[in-house]
Amino acid sequence: MRARFPEPTATSSTAMARTLLASIFLLLWSGLVAALTSTLVQVPSIPNNPTNVGVFVYTPTTVVEKPPVIIAIHYCGGTADAYFTGSPYALYADYYGFIVMYPSSPNADLCWDVSSVATLTHNGGGDSFGIASMVAYAIANYNADPTRVYVTGTSSGAMMTNVMCAVYPELFAAASVYSGVPAGCFMSNFGGVDAWNSSCAEGQVSQTSAQWAAQVRAMFPGYTGTYPPIQEYHGTADTTLFPENFVEEIKEWAGIFGYDADAPTQVIENDPLPGYNKSIYGPSLQGILAQGVGHTVPIQGDQDMIWFGFEAPGTTGVAEFGQCGGIGYTGSTFCMPPYFCEVLNDFFSQCLTMS
Ligand SMILES: *[C@@H]1O[C@H](CO)[C@@H](O)[C@H](O)[C@H]1NC(C)=O
Ligand SMILES: *[C@@H]1O[C@H](CO)[C@@H](O)[C@H](O)[C@H]1NC(C)=O
């Protein structure tokens, strides 16, 4: 398996790896905030949050009656606010009428604890418990639809997304993972909380599907329900979380779902972007490997919406360059993501990409 990837140069130290995690994130959506219908709000405190995970919520001006919820988990060195502005989910929330909740790391390095026994144990505490409690809070306070809660994240947030699916599978209807490691792969051998694990990061941890599945099931002993369908994205040129982690993530979830990690039922080339291969292992698992892409794979918002069961973007609203406003105009004023309605003059507003 290892030979499939160009051998990246190992980052020489933990500090360097952390710096890389913190810095290499493209703010593709930086024009987003000004165009939104609402703002990011902090929830002062929620029950069952032992590590004091910061809780932030974006509620669009108009939400559907029983709104779905997306939990969007930031990368190392990030914050709820950084991921709010650095990811497209709030924009999609305006479009579809769902709620986005952004946890904010309580740890000094602003990474997530995916290494402690507590965080890797159902109702055991740790950051994962605080994030799980955000879901309960949303259901109790925002009348959220408990059958339509989704989880996604980038880098450290991607690691945590895998952890949430393993430790709290009953909460989520689907998940999307951008450049992470398998749940349990960062498990610390010295009981470390939010500890870095170089052997996992550098792709030296390899287990069989059966071993990974047993490790996942041990995080929630006695659970007999289903696990959330999951999409795993990874770049072949990732030198922070080596692409071997992609293979291990696929093995992990294939083991859970009873699929063959070596035999996808279908491979679609150049999907969703040129150079990306989408491998479908069964209805609950897809792996998207991006040729030449480093850490991290850019969020594919449209793909996430489809994976999360929303009507495909582009089927309603105004397309790029279409009119979305102006004196005398009576058509739709909503642009299909990722386009924004920009006022060009009193008589003409047009759906354009962000400048
Ligand atoms: C890193 O994780 C692996 C399991 O994935 C474990 O065997 C190893 O001991 C861990 N290393 C440290 C330093 O905790
Ligand atoms: C995608 O599949 C094609 C055909 O098998 C292969 O040549 C290419 O290397 C694959 N790319 C990735 C990123 O796996």
Of 321, 323, 299, 303, the closest CA to residue 313 belongs to: 303
Give, as one character, the DSSP assignment of residue 116: S
* Closest C-alpha to ligand 2, atom 7: 269
Query: What is the C-alpha separation between 199 and 176, in angstroms, rounded?
Result: 24
pLDDT of amino acid 313:
67
Tens of pLDDT along 66-81? 999 999 999 999 999 9
pLDDT tens, position by position, 96-143: 999 999 999 999 999 999 999 999 999 999 999 999 999 999 999 999
In this structure, which residue's CA is closest to atom 9 in ligand 1?
189
**From the alpha carbon of 277, which atom of ligand 2 is closest?**
1
Helix ranges restricted to H, the chain: 14-23, 32-35, 80-86, 89-96, 126-141, 156-167, 198-201, 209-218, 244-257, 301-307
Q: What percent of the chain shows pLDDT beyond 90?
A: 74
Ligand 1 pocket (Cβ < 6 Å) reads 185, 187-189, 197, 199-200, 205
- Tokens standing for residue 299: 């969020």
Q: Say how many Å lie between the CA of residue 192 and the centre of ligand 1.
A: 10
Any atom of ligand 2 within 6 Å of the Cβ of 236? yes
Contact 15, 199 (CB under 8 A): no
* 187 CA: nearest ligand 1 atom: 2
Q: How confident is the model at residue 95 (pLDDT cuts 50, 70, 90)?
A: confident
CA 62 – ligand 1 centroid, Å: 46
Using the atom order of ligand 2, give the atom closest to the CA of residue 289: 13
Q: Which of 155, 156, 176, 279 is catalytic?
A: 155
Give residue 284's identity as a one-letter amino acid code.
S
Ligand nearest to the CA of 235: 2
State which ligand 1 atom lies nearest to the alpha carbon of 185.
5
- Residue 291 CB less than 6 A away from ligand 2: yes
Asked if pLDDT for residue 338 goes beyond 80, the answer is no
Is a pLDDT exceeding 50 seen at residue 14? no
Q: Please, which pLDDT band fits residue 182 given cuts at 50, 70 and 90?
A: very high
User: How high is the pLDDT of residue 320?
Assistant: 80
pLDDT in tens, 259-271: 999 999 999 999 9
Q: Which has the closest alpha carbon to 141: 104, 101, 106?
A: 101
How high is the pLDDT of residue 5? 55
pLDDT at 103: 98
Task: Looking at the CA of 288, name the nearest ligand.
Answer: 2
**Ligand 2 and 269: CB distance under 6 A:** yes
Closest residue CA from atom 4 of ligand 1: 185
- Verify whether residue 155 is a known catalytic residue: yes
Q: What is the whole-number distance in angstroms between the Cα of residue 115 and the centre of ligand 1?
A: 9
Measuring from atom 10 of ligand 2, which residue has the nearest CA? 277
**Residue with the two structure tokens 């450290």:** 156
Q: What is the mean pLDDT of residues 55-75?
A: 96
**235 bridge partner residues:** 290
pLDDT for 241 beyond 70? yes
Report the distance separating Cα 270 and Cα 289, nearest Å. Answer: 10
Q: Which of 16-25, 69-78, 181-190 has the lowest mean pLDDT?
A: 16-25
Q: What is the mean pLDDT of residues 72-97?
A: 94
What confidence score (pLDDT) does residue 2 get? 37
Which ligand is nearest to the Cα of residue 205, counting in written order? 1
